[in-house]
Structure 1
Amino acid sequence: MTETPNVTAEYSYDNWSLEINGGSVMCDTSDINDFAKHFLPPFYYVIFTISILGNSLVLLVIYKFEKLNSVTNIFLINLVASNIIFTLALPFQAIYHSDQWVFGEALCKLVNSANYLGFYSSILFLTVMTFDRYLAVVHCVAASKRRQSCYAVALSSAVWILSLLASLDSFILFTVEDSQWDGLACEYPSDSRWRLFGFYKEVVLFFFFPLAVFIYCYFRITLTVLATRMLGKHRTVRLIFVIVLMFFLFWSPYNIVHMLNESRDADTCDSRLPYLEYVTWNIARLYFCINPLFYTFLGRKFQNHVRGLLVNHVSCLSSLTNVSGSSRTLG
């Protein structure tokens, strides 16, 4: 650790410094940078491949076996679109973390805006789909006339507009700067006001609000399902539990570490929190690339559709032709 007087304090994953008594303590983050350089690029390429294949398979199943204009499938198609937008930013991030930002100022803004647009819209579409399931199960009679395709299109449009507005600061503020540590860096400004704005925006609008909707809606759905004689109700309850659990397990660690990092003492140089924030943020990335797989392929109906695709295109799987068509799923 070396002390550099009269230097403006800044914090980022690539160069981390803390303002102390009018100067700045430059914290050694070489371990974090080495970790990012060796771990993140292959991790991003793996997520990219899995996400493109998985989301494409979801679209194929919907196209071949489902009604495209149904409420659930309109939301699901938009969810897949948000995940693909999020996924397309990963190769740029992989190259960036392996060396430096080589794509220029315009792509710096576009790639990071796409990253946040896909990220935010993915969370909101999961929230909207949860609320729609709540209406369909708990208030099925009252909601039956309102749950039309125009209702789904209107809600989807609102989600995209809100997500676009939430990611607008990324497009405006991300810029390419020449870092003395790592060369050209595509970074969000280190100004504390913008950091606090981004922090509260993510935690309140894209964590606590969706989590509250998830817990309330799925609690009411579970009570309704258990109180009725719905076919396959126990499988439905298990599916509900898995969806909520996956959201909590993948998305909560990052928010907890992020809150701890924001509330840490300003005169400490603990590199564990940035390291953990790296890890937990990329765990969250993984979830928001593959969440359609949780939402669809855990359901019996979609499993049967995939078996049907395999049987039709792979002759040696003819033993799977006896596919049950009577099972119901949450969707």
Structure 2
Amino acid sequence: MNDEDQYELFLELFNDSNTTDLSYVGSKTVKICSKESVNYFGARFIPVFYYVIFILSYFGNGLVLFIIYQYEKLNTVTNVFLLNLVLSNILFATSLPFWATYHQSEWIFGSFLCKMVSSAYFIGFYSSILFLTLMTFDRYLAVVHAVAAAKSRKKAYAIVGSVAVWCISVVASIKELVLQNVSKNPFSGLMCEESGFPDSTMERWRLVSYYQQFLLFFLLPLFMVMYCYISITVRILSIRMKEKCRAIKLIFVIILTFFACWTPYNIVILLQAIQISSTKEDDDLCSESDGLDYALYVTRNIAFLYCCISPVFYTFVGKKFQRHFRRLVAKKIPCLKRHISLSSQSTKTTSHRTPHSAYDYHPAPRPHTYSHTHTK
């Protein structure tokens, strides 16, 4: 629908109105920002990217889950955390096909699924962030405080930590369960969005959501990741280790990847919160709003992609999971068995010569949500 059609529809609705209450009359002209170009961009770009993330997430996380089932036991802290991280990413990715369809047309799945899918989206996303942070902290304890942590890093500690993460994620996502509703928009059709309260109340809730995302699910995990990995680096440098250079390079890649993927998205989130609180002229507000919408589409999907593939990246850093993967490939593809067996044996020999490598197991940092209102 172009601007002329929208204007004719507005005139039709205006002429059909029988409202005579003078309280509806205002002396200030309010400009409605046209989102036609932004919506067109989102309808073309978002669905494709969401389906790609969905496929990569199910393939990568499914592979990790299968390896845990086949070769590992849930009697270690790392494996318990890793299993929960995989489940949180699968929960998050499950919501993406719904949002992809929504961006292509309208919300066709009803009010109940609007609430459930929105809640699953944020629960999965928040828990993924927190589990990555928790796994980083666990690596910090295992490397920097190895002696003291040996007594406390038990299965019960992992279970309590996992339950706490899921509880925090559910509480942080309650707003979506309460406020998300299906409404009819004359221009965009059926919308799954936050509604049901006055605009001023909804605006305050959006501000709370943005600042919650930026402070609780970005700054706090970022500081923890930085502190933990800097401490691990210092610890590695202080001991004699043949794989010292490899471990330090790995830490650098982890921090750089995390920073590059998550910082742009969360800066956009912060700018959106500032924009809501600002009182600029309508022309400036519309142009800035469009720019932030475009930036949100791009940066959000980079963050989501990192969130979904992170278990694969961090899992296969560890030699143990590399060996499991070789065994799995050799079993499924017999023609590669001889070559893979030699590689595996070489890896085992190297690992045996350096038994105290801090990264013979898998580290993991934390990685953010998509905008708290789906722009269509």
Q: Tell me what 1:43 maps to.
A: 49
Counterpart-to-counterpart distance in 2, 1:97 and 1:316: 44
Amino acid at match of 2:226: I
Q: Tell me what 1:8 maps to.
A: none
Higher RCO structure (Cα 8 Å, ≥6 apart): 2
Q: Tell me what 1:301 maps to.
A: 320
Moved over 6 A (4+): 1-4
Counterpart-to-counterpart distance in 2, 1:84 and 1:129: 18
Q: Tell me what 2:304 maps to.
A: 285
Counterpart-to-counterpart distance in 2, 1:76 and 1:300: 16
Q: What do residues 277-307 of structure 1 show as CA deviations (whole Å, max 9, x unaligned)?
A: 1211121111111110121123333223212
Structure 1 residues not aligned, in runs of 5+: 5-19
Q: Cα offset for 1:23?
A: 4.7
Counterpart-to-counterpart distance in 2, 1:50 and 1:135: 31
Equivalent positions of 1:160-171 (< 5 A) are 160-171=166-177
Retained in 1: the 8 A contact 2:317–2:361?
no
Q: Tell me what 1:216 maps to.
A: 227
Structure 2 residues not aligned, in runs of 5+: 11-25, 352-358, 363-376
Q: Cα offset for 1:77?
A: 0.3
Q: Cα offset for 1:273?
A: 1.2
Q: Which moved more, 1:171-180 or 1:110-119?
A: 171-180
Counterpart-to-counterpart distance in 2, 1:312 and 1:229: 37
Retained in 2: the 8 A contact 1:82–1:118?
yes
SS of the residue corresponding to residue 31 of structure 2 reads strand
SS of the residue corresponding to residue 303 of structure 2 reads helix
Equivalent positions of 1:171-186 (< 5 A) are 171-186=177-192
Q: Tell me what 2:370 maps to.
A: none
Retained in 2: the 8 A contact 1:113–1:170?
yes
Aligned residue pairs total 317
Retained in 1: the 8 A contact 2:320–2:361?
no
Amino acid at match of 1:306: F
TM-score by length of 2: 0.80
Q: What do residues 95-149 of structure 1 show as CA deviations (whole Å, max 9, x unaligned)?
A: 1111000011110000010000000000000111111111111000011010000
TM-score by length of 1: 0.90
> Max radius of gyration: which structure?
2
Higher helix share: 2
Q: 1:250 to 1:21 in 2, by over 3 A?
A: farther
Q: Cα offset for 1:263?
A: 2.0
Identity score, percent: 49
Amino acid at match of 2:130: L
**1:269 correspondence with 2:300:** no
Q: Tell me what 1:125 maps to.
A: 131
Retained in 1: the 8 A contact 2:46–2:297?
no
Q: Cα offset for 1:32?
A: 1.1
Q: 1:21 to 1:274 in 2, by over 3 A?
A: farther
SS of the residue corresponding to residue 72 of structure 1 reads helix
Amino acid at match of 1:269: C
Q: Cα offset for 1:238?
A: 2.3
Q: Tell me what 1:321 maps to.
A: 341
Q: Tell me what 2:239 maps to.
A: 228
2:84 aligned to 78, 88, 91, which one? 78
